Amino acid sequence: MHKHVKRAVAAVLAASLAAPAFAIGGAGASSHATTTSFPRNETVYTSGTAYSPPTNWNPLSIGAYATGTIGLLYEPLFLYDPTANKTVPWLATSGSWTSPTSFDIKLRDNVTWSDGQPFTAADVAYTIGLAKTSPTVPYANLGQYIADVQQVGKYEVVVDFSKPAYTQWQNFLYGNNATPMLPAHVWSKISASAVASFANPHPVGTGPMLLDEANAQEVAYKTSTHWWATKDLGLKLKFNYLVDIVNGSNNVELGQVLQGNIDLSNNFLPGISKLVGGISSSYGLQTYYAKAPYMLSANTVWLEPNIAKAPMSNVNFRKALAYAVDPRQIASVVYSNIVQPANPTGLLPNLASYVDKGVVAKSGFSYNPAKARALLKASGYKGRTITLEVPNGWTDWMAAAQVIVGDLKAVGINARATFPVYNTRVADLTNGTYDLALDNNAGPSATPWAYYDRIYQLPIQGKQTAQLNWERVNDPVSWALVQKLGTTPPTSTAALQSIYAQLEQRTLETMPVIPLWYNGAWAQYNTTYWTNWPSAAPSSNHYTPVMWGGWLGQDTTILALAALKTAK
């Protein structure tokens, strides 16, 4: 009896140890799963983008598609370079307004899809046309402005508008919301209602890589030999594989970066400023800037009051909030200086040329507790406790919220930080049941239009699902100015600058949102296997170093990847 029991136990143990190999072998949506291992010096490992397993390669499923879908597989017509603040022709060679309601796009003629079919005007026409035929695509609101899309020969498209829509169209063409081009011969078979949500497990794209392998832990891409940019722009990826890891917690990723298992980490890694030392240091870690703020700025963090609720509805109370908080303390204590305090207008550094210095000098705010107290008194605040909501698990924001609450208490505002789970927090903001929140949806864009569009969007719905105007400010004058931006031609720079100045002034006077600091485009590179990463040094390239959705394929990260060299 004893011997049999021992044998049985041993068998159970052995089986349980080997079980993972059997169970997960063969998982995933790979189309050509011949790779069993990735040679280290031919592979670039990235992390910091994916928080759930890769199961979706549909570029229209914003927020759900796997890392690399846009950028490595699918490509837009233009790229946007935030550092230089200019566009890079990509699948299109040029685009221009031939009249206030007509836009002409000329395409490249030697691009092929990964299934061998040529990329033509039909694909562009199909992609733009979805705005009118499918209500579920993210750019469906463009449909009301587009009258017609014509194909002129194989490589030219003319888009006719029913009314001028400069900014909305620009939003579609380039910038972080730029839409990639889809293969008409494959996608026209999908029904209009499923187009934005089906998983697309066998993606056909024009990009430099092909989907190789996917499992619960990572997604792997293999370099394609048919990329158009090699011939046209002299760009070639020097690695054969790119593997993006699904994140655990950020501290786990730091360990992996230090051990050289990850080349590019886009995670927030607390304490990174202590470990960065350039190529010569023992860890071989590098960031974009060699000293503070170490990271490029990615988006503006707002302290967002719920203007539909008292006491946030009072403008003096909101101004008191602005003067009460010290963003420099947040930057140094919570972030160890890898972020920088925001300009009072809140516009990101790439838009510095749009900031009207006179307006800022006249109406700008800064940390001043005495002034905050005075404003608080003027607002008639009675002492009601207000809550600041921050998603549970966002550790840096949780710590920042504690600092902010401390600052608010110091001037006499009864504030309390709460940490609901992410979905609850989004629901509270969407439904308007919150008091204060931190919001960093204001990401980079080519002009300030998107920033003010986000602040002043009207009408205010019961549920603000588009996450625009989450603070529920009802300002028809400012909204009219924003809409005017959409009908003013991009060439009328003087007129545009005057509108921006007015918006900046009004925003500082009415304080619908309070810009605090710029969250960083977190990027840490381990230079053991790959070098020539983007940096501020004059001899390096200044491309964007993040793989996040909205950046990889729309900004210049793909150029950064093409510039990588092996370290040997």
Partner 1 sequence: MSTDTTTSTDTTTAPRHELVYFALRNRKLVIGLSIVGFLAIVAIVAPLFARSNPNAFVGPPMQPPSSSYLLGTTYFGQDVYSQLVNGLRQSFLVGVMGGGIAFVVATAVGFTAGYRGGAVDEVLNMLTNVLLVIPTLALLIIIGGYLKGTSIVFEAVFVGATAWPWAARAIRAQTLSLASRDFVGLARLSGVRSWRIVVGEVAPNMSSYLFLTFILLFGNAILISASYDFLGFGPPNGVSLGNMMNLAFAWNALQLHVWWWFVPPGIAIMAIVGGLYVTNVGLDEVFNPKLRSVS
Partner 2 sequence: MRRYFARKLLTYFLTFFVAVTLDWGIPRLMPGDPIAGLLAKFQLQPSSYAALHSSYTKAFNLGEPLWRQYLDFWWALLHGSLGTSIYAYPDPVTTVIEHAVVFTLALLLPATILSYLAGNKVGAIAARRKVLDNTVLPFSYMLTATPYQWLALLLAFVLAGVAHVFPISGGFSYALVPTLSWAFLWSLLAHWFLPFATLFLVGFGGWAIGMRNLIIYELDADYAHFLESLGAPRRLVRKYAYKNARLPQLTGLALSLGTIVGGAVVTEIVFNYPGIGWLVLQAISSEDYFLLQGIFLFIIVGVLLANFVVDVVYLLVDPRTRIGLQGGTR
Residues near partner 1 (CB under 8 A) are: 249-251, 254-255, 258, 269-271, 274-275, 333-334, 336, 387, 392-393, 395, 398-399, 402, 417-421, 424
Q: How far is the CB of 34 from partner 2 (least distance, A)?
A: 10
Residue 367 binds which of partner 1, partner 2, none (CB < 5-8 A, kind-dependent): none
Tell me: does residue 11 bind partner 2 (CB under 8 A).
Answer: no
Alpha-carbon dihedral angle through residues 368, 373, 379, 381, given to the nearest 10 degrees: 130
Identify the residue among 122, 125, 158, 426 touching partner 2 (CB under 8 A): 426
Apex 411 CA angle, 409 and 416, nearest 5: 20
User: Which stretches within 118-227 are classed as H helix?
Assistant: 121-133, 166-173, 184-187
Long-range contacts of 479-483 (CB under 8 A, 24+ apart): 481/452, 481/456, 481/506, 482/449, 482/452, 482/453, 482/456, 482/457
220 is in the binding site of which of partner 1, partner 2, none (Cβ under 5 to 8 A by kind)?
partner 2
Beta bridge partners of 565: 531
Q: How far is CA 153 from CA 89, 105, 109, 229, 287, in A?
A: 20, 12, 11, 22, 46
CB nearer partner 2, residue 147 or residue 421: 421
36 binds, among partner 2, partner 1, none (CB under 5 to 8 A by kind): partner 2
Q: Torsion angle of alpha carbons 562, 565, 566, 568, nearest 10°?
A: 170
For partner 1, the closer CB: 230 or 402: 402
CB closer to partner 1, 56 vs 256? 256
What the block records as the tokens of 320 is 């008191």
Part of the chain binding partner 2 (CB under 8 A), chosen from 106-114, 159-167, 209-217, 295-303: 209-217
Nearer to partner 2, 1 or 494 (CB): 1
The 3 state secondary structure assigned to 318-343 is: HHHHHHHCCHHHHHHHHCCCCCEECC
Phi-psi region of 68 (alpha: psi -120 to 50; beta: other; left: phi over 0): left
* Six-digit token string for 464: 């603000």
Using rule CB under 8 A, residue 439 touches partner 2: no
Residues 63-82 that bind partner 2 (CB under 8 A): 63-64
Give Dmax over CA atoms of the chain in angstroms: 93
Structure tokens that stand for 43 in this block:
């592979």
SS3 521: strand
Report the alpha-carbon distance of residue 144 to residue 161 in Å, rounded.
9
Contact 418, 387 (CB under 8 A): yes
Contacts (CB under 8 A) with partner 2, residues 125-144: 135-138, 140-141
Is 526 buried (19+), middle (13-18) or exposed (0-12) by CB count in 10 A?
buried
Q: How far is the C-alpha of 336 from the C-alpha of 291, rounded, in Å?
A: 11
Min dist. Cβ of residue 385 to partner 1 (A):
12
Judged by CB under 8 A, does residue 350 bind partner 2?
Answer: no
Q: Which does 376 bind (CB under 5 to 8 A by kind): partner 1, partner 2, none?
A: none
Instruction: Indicate the residue among 313 and 418 with the shorter CB distance to partner 1.
Output: 418
567 near partner 2 (CB under 8 A): no
User: Is 423 a binder of partner 2 (CB under 8 A)?
Assistant: yes
Position 502 contacts partner 2 (CB under 8 A):
no
Q: Which of 84, 147, 252, 477 binds partner 2 (CB under 8 A)?
A: 252
> Starting at the edge strand that comes first in sequence, how are the strands of the sheet with 146-151 ordered?
92-99, 102-107, 156-161, 146-151
Q: Which stretch binds partner 2 (CB under 8 A): 94-102, 160-168, 243-251, 363-371?
A: 243-251
Name which position in 123, 156, 218, 555 contacts partner 2 (CB under 8 A): 218
Comparing CB distances to partner 2, the nearer of 430 and 498 is 430
Residue 316's binding partner out of partner 2, partner 1, none, with CB under 5 to 8 Å set by partner kind: none
Among 11, 25, 279, 290, binds partner 2 (CB under 8 A): 25
**Residue 290 interacting with partner 2 (CB under 8 A):** no
For the chain, the straight-line distance linking the first and the last C-alpha, in angstroms and rounded, comes to: 61
> Closest approach of Cβ 361 to partner 2, in Å?
34
Pick between residue 166 and residue 434 the one whose CB is nearest to partner 1. 434
Residues 452-471 that bind partner 2 (CB under 8 A): 461, 463, 465-468
476 binds partner 2 (CB under 8 A): no
Residue entry with tokens 């092909």: 210
